[in-house]
Chains A and B, each alone.
Chain A
C-alpha cells in the first residue's frame, strides 16, 4: 500500500546528486544564443530601427526585427484548445512588435555565437520612437479619450457578471448591516529558480524539435504550430526536469521564437536563456486587482448578501487575460455558498509588464478582498472571527449555486477548529488584550479559502496514462501529467503501486516528456494534476492488473477469482500463498513462444467533475509601529485536500505556498513608475522576495475527506496554500492596531503611509 505513505520523492536522489538534467544541461554543441532587443519606453511606436552596424559585428549570425516575423497574431495562454470560438484566448501577440506596449517589449532579436557578442550587438542597434502617454492607472486606461493599447479593444480584455442565490438587492435591503470595503493587490512575481529557457533545432528537413522549461508541452506544440502556421505534428516538444514554474511556464513565451529562428537558420540549434532581470520584466506576473466588496450581515452573524466588483490589470498583452478574474470569481463560490452573491469583473490592458497565470490564478486577489470583508463584517457584529466564519462557511451537502453541483466533500469547519486549537486562540485573544497600546502590539488573524481541483467545465480535463510491465516484473509509467518540481511523478508512482499492489520502488515514471511519445495531457496548472491524472491512472492500473491476472491464469490454469497480486507477487486468494513472483510472470508473457504478449495498458480519460477544496490560515503577529514592521510569531495552514497521497510532499506544498503568501503579504511588489511605466525592481535585490531569515517556522495540518469524483479520494493542494496568508495577516494587523490595511503588500514603505494616515506615527516611539 503506497497511497498515504511518506515515500521518498521518485527524483530526490537524481536531483540532490546533480544528475537530473534540465534544459540547459542538454544544449547541443554549438547552440547559438539569441537575445531580445527590448523597448526602453512603455508606450509608443518604433519610428526607425537601424541594425546595420550590429549585423557587421563578427560572431553575429542574424538579426530579425518586427519586419521579418509572420503577421499572424497568436494567443500565448497555456489553455487547452477551445472548440467553442467564443471561448478562444485573445490573439494579440506577434513574435516581435513595432507597437510598444510596455517597457521591455520585444522589438528585435540578435542571434550570435555567444552572449557577449549578442550583448555587444544589442548596444549597436539604434531605435527611435514615437512616444505616447503610458496608460497605467484604471482611471486613465478607461478614459474615453485614452489611446487604445490594442486597436479595437477599448482597453478592455474581458468582462463578465454572475449572480447566484436569492435576490442580492433585496437581501441587502433586509440586512441589519451593510459593510463596504475597497481592496488592492500588487503585481507580484513567481520567482521560480530556473529562468525561462528554450532551444530548438531541426533533425530533418521539416521537423522542429523544441526543448523547453515548460509546464505544458502539448499546448506548446499546438501554439508553436499556430504562431508559425505549420502543422502541429511537425513540432516535437521535449520537457526535461523543470526548476519550478508556478504558472509562469503555463504560457508559451520563448518557444515560438526559438522555433522561428531555427527555421530561418537552416535548422541550426538556437537558444534563448533569459536572465533573471529579463525574466522578471518580459515573462508574466500576477494581475494586480482593485476590488470593491459589499457585505450584508444580520445581527446574529449570518452573512446574507455579497457584491464584488473587480478590476483586473493584465498589462500589455492579454495572455491569460480575463480568465484570471473569472476563475477567481467562480472558485470562491464554494466558500460561503448560502449567501446571495453578485460578481462583476473587468480585465484591462495597461502599459505595464504582462500578467498571466500564477499560483492560484485570481483566487489570492479575490479571497484576499473577500476575507478582509468577512473580517470587517464579523467585527461590525462583534462576533469572534472564527465563530463568525463557522456560522457562514460551506458544509458537506451544501449546493454550490453557481455550478449547480452539490459539495460532496467538505472539511472547512474541521480545518477552522484544528487551526483554532493549534493557535490556542481563545487564551491568546485574552492575553493579547494587553498588547493593543504602545509601539509594539500583538494580534491574531484568520482567513478561509475555497478553491477547485481543475478547470472543468470551463476547459476540458483530459489525462493520459500508459503502463507497461517490464521483463523484470517492474513497471514503467508514462503520463501526460507534467512534473515541474511539484512532485506529480511521485504521486503517480504511489497510485500505480497502490492499485497494482507493487512495491513503490518497482514503479518507474518516465520523467522527461516528449510530445512524440508521451500520452496527451494539457499539463501542470490549476492544481489539477493529481486529481485529474488519478482517474486515468486508476483505470489504466486496473486494466493492467486484469491483464496480469489473466496471464497468471493462462500459466497456472487457475480461475480468475482464485488469484490476486500482493506485494509484487501473484498469490492464491484462498491460501494467501505466493504462486509466482512478478518477474516469472513477466518473462513468460514476453518470451513464451505461444501464449501471452507484452502486458500494457493505456487510458485517456476526461474528468467531468471539479471538486472544491477548503483551507485556512491562522496567524499570530507582532506589529512594530515605529519601524513599520510586521513579525509573524506563529502561522499554520490547515487544508482539506481530500485523501493525502503523500504527507511529506503535501506538507512541502503547504510550506512553499505559505512562504509565497507571506512574501505577497509583507514585502513583494513590482514597483512601476506611475508616469513613465518604468519598472524599478526587476531583480532579486530590489524585489523583496523573502529569505529564510524572514520566514518563521511554518506549521501545517490536514483534514482528510474522501472525494468520490477522484481516483484515490484526493483533491487539489498545489496552489491553495498561497491564498490565505495575506488576508489572515491583514486581519491580525487589524486585531493588533485597529487599522484596516486594505492594500498589499503590507511592506514598511506602505505601512509608513497608512500608519501616518491613521495617526499611529510620531506619537508612538519606543
Chain B
C-alpha cells in the first residue's frame, strides 16, 4: 500500500503539461522504477503523480529526414535493446540499456526517466554524454533544446522547469556516423545493480589514428561527465598499447570520484583507470582496430 494522494493519467503530452501546471505538487511517473521506490520509502513529494506511462507520443525510436536518431523519452530499455536503428548505429547505447536492472525493470523503465532522475549512475547517461545528445523539452507554450551535458545541475537536480517535459533525445548523424563505441558498466553484480563506475567511449579512427575520441563516465563525479582534457590530448594519436596507457594516466586529472560507504575514492579511481582502457579497447575492436 502506498500513501498516494492523487494519480492522474495523461492521454497526450499537452494534457500531461496541463496537469503538471494544474497540480504544482505533482511529479511525472513513467516506468515508475525510481518513483515507486521513493513512494515505498515514504519520501515526501511523490504522493501526487501525473502518469505518462506508455504514452504513444513519447514511445518511439526513429531516424528523421537528416538521419538524426530520435528516441522518445518514453522508450523503455527493451525498446532500445530491440531497436534495429540502435543496434546498427549506436550499439553502445544497447550495451548501456542491457546493463540496466533486470528483465522486468527493462520492460518498464524509460530512458527519459533515467535521465530526468538526475543521478550520476544512470547507465544511459554516459553514452548520451559521449554522443553529444540533445534533449528536446516542451512546456505549455515553449519548446527548447539543451545538450545533455548542460542538463544536470547536481545530484537529483536537472534543468526542468515547472510544467516541462522531456519529449525526446536527439543524436545527430555527425555524432554517430562512422563512430564506434562501447559502454562498460562496473558494478558489484552482473544484474540488478547500480554502477560503481560506468564508462562510455565513442571514437573514430582513420589510418590507425584516433580522429575523434570521446570518453564519458558515470559516478566519477556528482553528475555524469565527459573527460575533455583526455579527449583533446588523445585526438590524432596513433592507436597503440601506449595510447591506452596514456588514456589511463590522463583520465585521472579529468574525473572527481568521491568516497562513500559504497566505495572509496581510491577504489573508484583504480576502476576508472582500468575501465577507460577496457572500454577503449572494445570500441577500437568494433572500429576494426587491433591492439
Report how many A-B pairs have Cβ atoms within 8 Å. 59
* A contact face: mostly helix, strand, loop, or mixed: loop
The yes or no answer to B235 lying at the interface (CB within 8 A) is no
The yes or no answer to A685 lying at the interface (CB within 8 A) is yes
What is the minimal beta-carbon distance from A147 to any residue of chain B, in angstroms? 26
A680 lies within 8 A of B261 (CB): yes
Residues on A with C-beta less than 8 A from B261 are 671, 673, 680
Which of B42, B102, B264 makes the CB contact (< 8 A) with A119?
Answer: B42
| Interface of chain A residues 376 through 416 with chain B (CB within 8 A) | none
The yes or no answer to A752 lying at the interface (CB within 8 A) is yes
Which of B3, B42, B189, B263 makes the CB contact (< 8 A) with A693?
Answer: B189
The yes or no answer to B10 lying at the interface (CB within 8 A) is no
What's the Cα separation between A115 and B40 when bound, in Å? 11
What's the Cα separation between A50 and B264 when bound, in Å? 40
Residues on A with C-beta less than 8 A from B278 are 766
Contact of A116 with B3 at beta-carbon distance under 8 Å, contacts A691-B102, A765-B277, A766-B277 already known: yes
A752 lies within 8 A of B267 (CB): yes
Residues on B with C-beta less than 8 A from A455 are none
Residues on A with C-beta less than 8 A from B146 are none
Which of B2, B3, B248, B271 makes the CB contact (< 8 A) with A627?
Answer: B271
B262 lies within 8 A of A686 (CB): yes
**Chain A, residue nearest B262 (CB):** A686
Residues on B with C-beta less than 8 A from A748 are 188, 196, 267
The yes or no answer to B194 lying at the interface (CB within 8 A) is yes
Q: How large is the interface on A (under 10, 10 to 19, 20 to 34, 35 or more residues)?
A: 20 to 34
Residues on B with C-beta less than 8 A from A673 are 261
What's the Cα separation between A481 and B130 when bound, in Å? 60
The yes or no answer to A133 lying at the interface (CB within 8 A) is no
Residues on A with C-beta less than 8 A from B102 are 691
Chain B 1-45 near chain A by CB (<8 Å), digits 1 or 0: 111000000000000000000000000000000000000001000
| Interface of chain A residues 97 through 145 with chain B (CB within 8 A) | 114-116, 119-120
A694 lies within 8 A of B190 (CB): yes
Which of B1, B192, B266 makes the CB contact (< 8 A) with A115?
Answer: B1
The yes or no answer to A761 lying at the interface (CB within 8 A) is yes
What's the Cα separation between A318 and B190 when bound, in Å? 36
What is the minimal beta-carbon distance from B254 to any residue of chain A, in angstroms? 18
Residues on B with C-beta less than 8 A from A671 are 261
A685 lies within 8 A of B3 (CB): no
Contact of A627 with B267 at beta-carbon distance under 8 Å, contacts A119-B42, A667-B189 already known: no
Which of A119, A626, A667, A684 makes the CB contact (< 8 A) with B274?
Answer: A626
| Interface of chain B residues 167 through 211 with chain A (CB within 8 A) | 186, 188-194, 196
A694 lies within 8 A of B263 (CB): no
**Chain B, residue nearest A762 (CB):** B270
Contact of A627 with B274 at beta-carbon distance under 8 Å, contacts A119-B3, A119-B42, A749-B267 already known: yes
Chain A 666-692 near chain B by CB (<8 Å), digits 1 or 0: 010001010000001000111010111
What is the minimal beta-carbon distance from A274 to any residue of chain B, in angstroms? 14
What's the Cα separation between A688 and B193 when bound, in Å? 9
The yes or no answer to A23 lying at the interface (CB within 8 A) is no
The yes or no answer to A569 lying at the interface (CB within 8 A) is no
What is the minimal beta-carbon distance from B81 to any residue of chain A, in angstroms? 15
Residues on B with C-beta less than 8 A from A694 are 189-191
What's the Cα separation between A673 and B42 when bound, in Å? 24
Residues on A with C-beta less than 8 A from B262 are 686
B191 lies within 8 A of A766 (CB): no
What's the Cα separation between A680 and B245 when bound, in Å? 36
What's the Cα separation between A356 and B91 when bound, in Å? 48
The yes or no answer to A501 lying at the interface (CB within 8 A) is no
A691 lies within 8 A of B1 (CB): no
**Chain B, residue nearest A671 (CB):** B261
The yes or no answer to B59 lying at the interface (CB within 8 A) is no
Residues on B with C-beta less than 8 A from A749 are 263-264, 267
The yes or no answer to A155 lying at the interface (CB within 8 A) is no
Residues on A with C-beta less than 8 A from B264 are 749
A688 lies within 8 A of B188 (CB): yes
**Chain A, residue nearest B281 (CB):** A766
What is the minimal beta-carbon distance from A522 to any residue of chain B, in angstroms? 37
Residues on B with C-beta less than 8 A from A490 are none
The yes or no answer to B89 lying at the interface (CB within 8 A) is no
Residues on B with C-beta less than 8 A from A747 are 188
Interface centre among B2, B192, B273 (most CB of A within 10 A): B192
Q: How large is the interface on B (under 10, 10 to 19, 20 to 34, 35 or more residues)?
A: 20 to 34
What is the minimal beta-carbon distance from A385 to any residue of chain B, in angstroms? 29
What's the Cα separation between A747 and B189 when bound, in Å? 10
Residues on B with C-beta less than 8 A from A628 are 270
A667 lies within 8 A of B191 (CB): no
A667 lies within 8 A of B188 (CB): yes
A690 lies within 8 A of B277 (CB): no
Residues on B with C-beta less than 8 A from A691 are 102, 189-192
What is the minimal beta-carbon distance from B124 to any residue of chain A, in angstroms? 19
**Chain B, residue nearest A123 (CB):** B42
Residues on A with C-beta less than 8 A from B267 are 748-749, 752
What's the Cα separation between A690 and B102 when bound, in Å? 13
Chain A 725-759 near chain B by CB (<8 Å), digits 1 or 0: 00000000000000000000001110010000000
| Interface of chain A residues 489 through 543 with chain B (CB within 8 A) | none
A116 lies within 8 A of B270 (CB): no
B1 lies within 8 A of A765 (CB): no
Residues on A with C-beta less than 8 A from B248 are 765
What's the Cα separation between A570 and B76 when bound, in Å? 64
What is the minimal beta-carbon distance from A112 to any residue of chain B, in angstroms? 11
A690 lies within 8 A of B189 (CB): yes
Interface centre among A120, A667, A694 (most CB of B within 10 A): A694
What's the Cα separation between A74 and B194 when bound, in Å? 42
What's the Cα separation between A627 and B279 when bound, in Å? 13
Contact of A116 with B271 at beta-carbon distance under 8 Å, contacts A693-B189, A693-B190 already known: no
What is the minimal beta-carbon distance from A15 to any residue of chain B, in angstroms? 20
A626 lies within 8 A of B263 (CB): no
Residues on A with C-beta less than 8 A from B273 are 765
| Interface of chain B residues 250 through 281 with chain A (CB within 8 A) | 261-264, 266-267, 270-271, 273-274, 277-278
What's the Cα separation between A686 and B271 when bound, in Å? 19
**Chain A, residue nearest B263 (CB):** A749
Residues on A with C-beta less than 8 A from B190 are 691, 693-694
Contact of A685 with B263 at beta-carbon distance under 8 Å, contacts A691-B102, A752-B270 already known: no
A627 lies within 8 A of B186 (CB): yes
What's the Cα separation between A748 and B266 when bound, in Å? 13
B191 lies within 8 A of A693 (CB): yes
What's the Cα separation between A70 and B201 when bound, in Å? 64
B274 lies within 8 A of A114 (CB): no
What's the Cα separation between A684 and B191 when bound, in Å? 12
Chain B 226-261 near chain A by CB (<8 Å), digits 1 or 0: 000000000000000000010010000000000001
Contact of A688 with B189 at beta-carbon distance under 8 Å, contacts A115-B1, A116-B3, A626-B270 already known: yes
What's the Cα separation between A747 and B196 when bound, in Å? 13
Chain A 681-715 near chain B by CB (<8 Å), digits 1 or 0: 00011101011111000000000000000000000
What's the Cα separation between A627 and B199 when bound, in Å? 14
**Chain A, residue nearest B273 (CB):** A765
**Chain A, residue nearest B267 (CB):** A752
Contact of A761 with B42 at beta-carbon distance under 8 Å, contacts A115-B1, A693-B189 already known: no
Q: Can you list 30 A-B pairs with a CB-CB distance of less than 8 A? A: A115-B1, A119-B3, A120-B3, A626-B270, A627-B271, A627-B274, A667-B188, A671-B261, A673-B261, A680-B261, A688-B189, A688-B193, A691-B102, A691-B189, A691-B191, A693-B190, A693-B191, A694-B189, A694-B190, A694-B191, A747-B188, A749-B263, A749-B264, A749-B267, A752-B266, A752-B267, A761-B270, A765-B273, A765-B277, A766-B277
User: Which 8 pairs between the two chains have the least Cβ-Cβ distance?
Assistant: A693-B190, A693-B191, A626-B274, A691-B191, A688-B188, A116-B3, A694-B190, A752-B267
Beyond A627-B274, A667-B189, A747-B188, 6 additional contacts (C-beta under 8 Å) are A115-B1, A120-B3, A628-B270, A692-B191, A693-B189, A693-B190
Q: Give the interface of B toward A (CB within 8 A).
A: 1-3, 42, 102, 186, 188-194, 196, 245, 248, 261-264, 266-267, 270-271, 273-274, 277-278
